[in-house]
């Protein structure tokens, strides 16, 4: 009898351990985040801040860099954070319906599919030495449809109301039912193809150093006087030494629903509308990756993207030398010639920026997801954690800003969150 009792106790203990193991496995917290494609580098790298150092976190990235997935432990408990970079309107619209209902889904990277994947390769984050395993180039079709728990948008719903290309629209969105956290400060830049140059004495004179808001407004609205670089006093070159006879401007634009497009409308296109007519010189893209490709492959081009895309055009970048950022009204979002490259942004001299908005439903997604979302938002707001990110040399914390704005358009006002820097005088 004693043996039987002992045996039953052992069995009960083993069953208990097995149950705990199953429960622990089942308790992996999965949070699906989607929306802004301009924020993909920011949203895709922030999760590492939440991960324990051991065991090594795992990052999976699609070939087009639009789908990211992290698996790791947070405080000893397993988590998975998925990000789908589509467009900002998705970061609002998918949350205006209940989780799991029609309209709440986006396609996320399915890490159980391995087609095209290479790695894993151990990576080290330069800013703090934190390591992780990265699996790259996973087929863009390796997806699974999942409901969105948190959305990323570059602008408020009220900043939409777009058309482009003709026949594609995104009306103003009422996002008043959502809980919105304004996190990092997010600057855009104007980028030019490598062939666009200044002209002096009938010869190329190096990259253009500045464009005014009025010039940009004329260019993006396709005014008759601003459809060729020569009409603005500039030119293009195919070989770096000889000017081309004609230099038609190639516009690299975003589709309606894009936060980047909305931001251009709010801060640049004040007196004119961005063109809606697509043709061989007006190319619309559904995401930032499309604009990046458009600029890299068209030496006569101009387009707008998040400022950190400059890294792709710098030495060592995937599109090194194929494009460059140009000043707007005399300033860059990131000026490497300054001791603090973000000085113009922080001082309010550069006004082409907004806050990355993280949107959530007013109802709970469950305690575990709610807690993970809160931790993510805290990191996306913190100056110390933003500084750890590769895009941290472009993006900024609100606490670092000497100015703020209540709406995407502005105006800029002195910030109560910080003491104005002497550099801003």
Pair of tokens at residue 120? 């894993």
What is the SS3 assignment for 257? coil
Pair of tokens at residue 401? 């800003």
Q: How is 208-249 classified by DSSP, letter by letter? A: --EE-HHHHHHHHTT-GGGSBGGGGTEEEBSSSSSB-S--BP
Average pLDDT over residues 241-264: 97
Per-residue pLDDT, 15: 36
Q: Would you place residue 119 in the very low, low, confident or very high pLDDT band (cuts 50, 70, 90)?
A: very high
Per-residue pLDDT, 10: 36
Distance CA 2, CA 142 (A): 56
Give the E-state strand segments of 256-340 in sequence order: 282-285, 301-306, 323-328
Q: Which residues pair with 353 in a beta bridge?
A: 187
Distance CA 396, CA 400 (A): 7
Q: Would you place residue 425 in the very low, low, confident or very high pLDDT band (cuts 50, 70, 90)?
A: confident
Average pLDDT, the chain: 93
Interacting residues of 266 by C-beta distance below 8 A, sequence separation 6+: 155, 159, 354, 408, 409
What are the structural domain ranges in the chain? 27-156+179-184+355-424, 187-347
Q: Which residues pair with 355 in a beta bridge?
A: 185
Cβ distance 311 to 282 under 8 Å?
no
Radius of gyration of the chain (CA): 24
Q: What whole-number percentage of the chain has pLDDT above 70?
A: 92
Distance CA 397, CA 346 (A): 9
Instruction: List phi, psi (to 5°) of 8.
Output: -65, -35
Average pLDDT over residues 302-316: 97
Q: What whole-number percentage of the chain has pLDDT above 90?
A: 91
Distance between the two ends of the chain, CA-based, in angstroms?
88
pLDDT at position 282 over 60: yes
Per-residue pLDDT, 418: 57
Going from the C-alpha of 324 to that of each of 106, 351, 356, the distances in angstroms are 32, 19, 24
Dihedral sign from CA coordinates of 165, 168, 174, 179: negative
Q: Which residues pair with 323 in a beta bridge?
A: 193
Interacting residues of 371 by C-beta distance below 8 A, sequence separation 6+: none
Q: Would you place residue 339 in the very low, low, confident or very high pLDDT band (cuts 50, 70, 90)?
A: very high
What is the SS3 assignment for 13? helix
Distance CA 201, CA 212 (A): 23
**Cα–Cα–Cα angle for 155, 161, 165, rounded to 5 degrees:** 105
Q: State which CATH number among 3.30.465.10, 3.20.20.70, 3.40.190.10, 3.30.499.10 fits the domain covering 187-347.
A: 3.40.190.10
pLDDT 10s digits, 128-167: 999 999 999 999 999 999 999 999 999 999 999 999 999 9
What is the SS3 assignment for 174? coil
Per-residue pLDDT, 421: 64
């Amino acid at each position: 009898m004693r043996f039987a009792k002992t045996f039953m106790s052992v069995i009960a203990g083993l069953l208990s351990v097995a149950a705990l193991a199953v429960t622990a496995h089942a308790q992996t917290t999965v949070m699906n985040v989607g929306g802004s494609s301009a924020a993909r580098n920011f949203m895709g790298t922030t999760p590492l801040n939440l991960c324990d150092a051991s065991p090594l976190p795992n990052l999976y990235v699609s070939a087009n860099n639009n789908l990211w997935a992290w698996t790791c432990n947070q405080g000893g408990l397993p988590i998975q954070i998925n990000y789908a970079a589509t467009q900002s309107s998705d970061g609002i619209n998918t949350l205006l319906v209940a989780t799991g209902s029609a309209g709440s889904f986006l396609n996320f990277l399915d890490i159980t599919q391995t087609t095209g994947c290479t790695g894993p390769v151990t990576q080290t984050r330069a800013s703090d030495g934190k390591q992780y395993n990265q699996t790259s180039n996973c087929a863009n079709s390796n997806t699974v449809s999942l409901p969105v728990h948190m959305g990323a948008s570059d602008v408020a719903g009220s900043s939409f109301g777009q058309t482009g290309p003709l026949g594609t629209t995104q009306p103003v969105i009422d996002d008043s039912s959502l809980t919105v956290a304004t996190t990092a400060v997010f600057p855009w830049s104007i980028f030019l193809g490598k062939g666009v140059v200044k002209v002096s004495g009938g010869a190329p004179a190096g990259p253009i150093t500045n464009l005014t808001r009025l010039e940009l407004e004329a260019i993006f609205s396709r005014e008759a006087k601003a459809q060729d670089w020569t009409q603005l006093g500039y030119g293009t070159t195919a070989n770096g030494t000889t000017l081309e006879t004609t230099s038609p401007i190639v516009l690299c634009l975003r589709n309606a629903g894009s936060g980047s497009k909305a931001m251009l409308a709010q801060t640049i296109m004040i007196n004119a509308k961005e063109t809606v007519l697509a043709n061989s010189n007006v190319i619309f893209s559904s995401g930032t990756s499309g604009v990046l490709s458009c600029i890299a492959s068209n030496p006569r081009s101009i387009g707008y993207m998040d400022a950190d895309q400059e890294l792709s055009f710098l030495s060592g970048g995937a599109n090194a030398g194929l494009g460059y950022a140009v000043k707007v009204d005399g300033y860059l979002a990131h000026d490497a010639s300054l001791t603090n490259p973000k000085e113009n942004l922080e001082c309010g001299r550069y006004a082409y920026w907004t806050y990355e908005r993280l949107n959530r439903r007013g109802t709970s997604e469950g305690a575990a997801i709610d807690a993970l979302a809160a931790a993510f938002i805290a990191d996306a707001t913190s100056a110390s954690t933003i500084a750890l990110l590769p895009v941290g040399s472009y993006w900024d914390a609100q606490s670092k800003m000497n100015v703020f704005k209540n709406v995407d358009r502005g105006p800029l006002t002195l910030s109560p969150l910080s003491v104005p820097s002497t550099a801003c005088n």
